[in-house]
Amino acid sequence: MFDAEYDVVVVGAGPAGTAAGKICAEHDLSVLVLEKRQEIGSPKRCGEGLGKNSLGRMGVEFNSKWVTREIIGATCYAPNGRFVRINYDGPEGWVIERKVFDKELAYQASKVGARIVAKAEVTGLVRADDGKVDVSINYAGTPYKTRAKMIIACDGVETKIARIMGLNTTMKLNDIAQGAQLEMSNIKIDPDRIELYFGNDIAPGGYIWIFPKGDDVANVGIGIRHPYGKESMCAMDYLMRFIESRPELKDGSIIEYNTGGVPVGGLLENMVADNLIVAGDAAHHTNPIHGGGIAEAYIGGKLAGEVVVDALLNKDISAKYLSKYNKMWWDLRGSKMKNVEKLRKVAEKLKDEELNFLAEELSGDDLVEFTRGSALKKLATIMMKKPGMIRLAKELL
C-alpha cells in the first residue's frame, strides 16, 4: 500500500497539505499526503467565501467548476440595522463549493506526483536514531508503517501532530472561535452580495454571515468567541435564534449542518522542530478578524514545501535550519496578521452602541482595509471622536 520510505509525509489534505505536497512533488521529492477523512473536503467546515485577491495570493488558477456564485459586494449590518455597503466594480470573489475546491487542489498536487491517500490517519510518529521518522498509519482499519525524512503537519485546527513531534502549538481557548454553519435552501437572499451581521446579542465576539450559493441557497453561519457569549448558548444556538427571527430565513430548508473551531490569533513565533514544519490552521495561520483561512493555509503550505525542498537539498533538516520558515512566514503574512489580531482584540470589546457609531462613520473601503491589517490609525482616529472609545482606540496604535 505504501512505500517503505518517502522524502516527505504530509499529514492532512486540506489546502495547506495539498499545497505543501504539490511543491514537494514539483521538486521531485517523493511525497505522501495522508488524509484521515474518507473524502477530501468533506464534511466542509467553512463559510466558503474566497476573495479574488486571496486566490491571486495563492497562485491557484481560477476554475469555474468550484464556483457557486460570483460576489459583487457585501453589506455589513450594525446591531441597530444600519448598514455599510462594500461595492466592487465587478466580481470580487466567490462563494465556492469547498468539497469541489479542496478536491481540485488535491488533483493538482497528485498530477505533479504527490501520492494522496484518503481514509489514512497518521496515528504515530517516532524520530529514529538514523534521523528519520517512523510513521504509523491506519488506512481503512488496517495498520501500516512507513518512514520519512520530513513531516509537514497540516492537520488543521485539532492538530496533534506537532505535539507528538515535540512542538507545543496548543491554542488558548480565547484564540479559537466557535463556528457553526448551515447550508440553507428556499430562503430569500440577495444572491450577489454577502451579508454580515454584528452585535453582542447576535454573535458575541464575532459575526453572522449569509454567503449566497444560488438565487435561494446560501451558506449561513456564525463565529462567536469565548468569553463573550452566554455560557448556556453555543454558536449553533445563536445561529438558530437569528434564523428564527428572520422571516426570509426561518422557513428555509437545512441541507447541511456543520460545526467547527477557527484559530483567530495566538500566532506562533516558532513553527518548526527537527524533521517538522507546521502549516495552515495547525500553525494558527488563519486571518484573526474574519476567520478566513483557505488562502492563508495554502500560502503557509506552499512556504513549508519550499523550505522542505531547500532543506533536503542541503541535507539539513534540523530545527535550526528549518527556522528560516518562521522568518519567511512572518515577513510574508505574520506581521500583517499580528495587526489584524490587534484589531480583533479591539473589535470584540465594542459595545452595540459603539458598533452603531462606527457604522455611521466608516465606508466599505475602510472595512476592507482594516480586515487586511491596514489603516488601523484611521480607525483609531475615528474611534477617538467618541470619549468612551478612546482607551480602546489607543490599543490600535
Applying CB under 6 A, the residues found at the interface with ligand FAD are: 11-17, 34-37, 45-50, 121-122, 154-156, 179, 181, 221, 260, 262, 280-282, 286, 291-294, 297
C-alpha cell at 180: 457553526
Which residue, 260 or 373, is less far from ligand FAD as judged by CB?
260
Measured from the CB of residue 357, what is the shortest distance to ligand FAD in angstroms?
27
Residue with grid cell 466580481, as numbered in its chain: 91
Which residue, 31 or 383, is less far from ligand FAD as judged by CB?
31
Q: Which helix (H) or strand (E) holds 16?
A: helix 15-26
Measured from the CB of residue 389, what is the shortest distance to ligand FAD in angstroms?
29
Q: How far apart are CA 211 and CA 233, in angstroms?
A: 23
140: DSSP letter: T
Which residue, 117 or 375, is less far from ligand FAD as judged by CB?
117
Which residue, 13 or 109, is less far from ligand FAD as judged by CB?
13
Measured from the CB of residue 315, what is the shortest distance to ligand FAD in angstroms?
27
Which residue, 297 or 322, is less far from ligand FAD as judged by CB?
297
Measured from the CB of residue 136, what is the shortest distance to ligand FAD in angstroms?
10
Query: Do the beta carbons of residue 31 and residue 25 sit within 8 Å?
Result: yes
Which residue, 204 or 291, is less far from ligand FAD as judged by CB?
291
Those residues whose C-beta lies under 8 Å from the C-beta of residue 6, and which sit 6 or more positions away, are: 30, 31, 32, 146, 147, 148, 149
Which residue, 122 or 308, is less far from ligand FAD as judged by CB?
122
Measured from the CB of residue 139, what is the shortest distance to ligand FAD in angstroms?
10
Quick check: bond before 43 cis, omega within 30? yes
DSSP letters, 172-229, are PGGGEEEEEEEEEES----TTEEEEE--TTTSTTSEEEEEESSSSEEEEEEEEETTTS
Q: How far apart are CA 51 and CA 292, in angstroms?
A: 10
Which residue, 163 or 327, is less far from ligand FAD as judged by CB?
163
Residue with grid cell 465576539, as numbered in its chain: 205
Q: How far apart are CA 374 and CA 378, in angstroms?
A: 9
Measured from the CB of residue 188, what is the shortest distance to ligand FAD in angstroms?
21
Q: How far apart are CA 361 and CA 192, in angstroms?
A: 25
Shortest Cβ contact with ligand FAD: which residue? 293
Dihedral (CA of 150, 155, 156, 160) sign: negative
Measured from the CB of residue 14, what is the shortest distance to ligand FAD in angstroms?
2
Measured from the CB of residue 300, what is the shortest distance to ligand FAD in angstroms?
7
Measured from the CB of residue 363, what is the shortest distance to ligand FAD in angstroms?
23
Which residue, 49 or 288, is less far from ligand FAD as judged by CB?
49
Phi-psi region of 225 (alpha: psi -120 to 50; beta: other; left: phi over 0): beta
Strand positions, DSSP E, the chain: 5-11, 31-35, 49-51, 67-71, 73-77, 83-87, 93-96, 115-118, 120-127, 133-139, 142-153, 176-185, 193-197, 207-212, 217-225, 253-263, 272-273, 276-278
CA nearest neighbour of 122 among 13, 198, 231: 13
Which residue, 341 or 354, is less far from ligand FAD as judged by CB?
341
Which residue, 225 or 357, is less far from ligand FAD as judged by CB?
225
Residue with grid cell 505543501, as numbered in its chain: 20
Measured from the CB of residue 286, what is the shortest distance to ligand FAD in angstroms?
5
C-alpha cell at 101: 475546491
Measured from the CB of residue 301, what is the shortest distance to ligand FAD in angstroms?
7
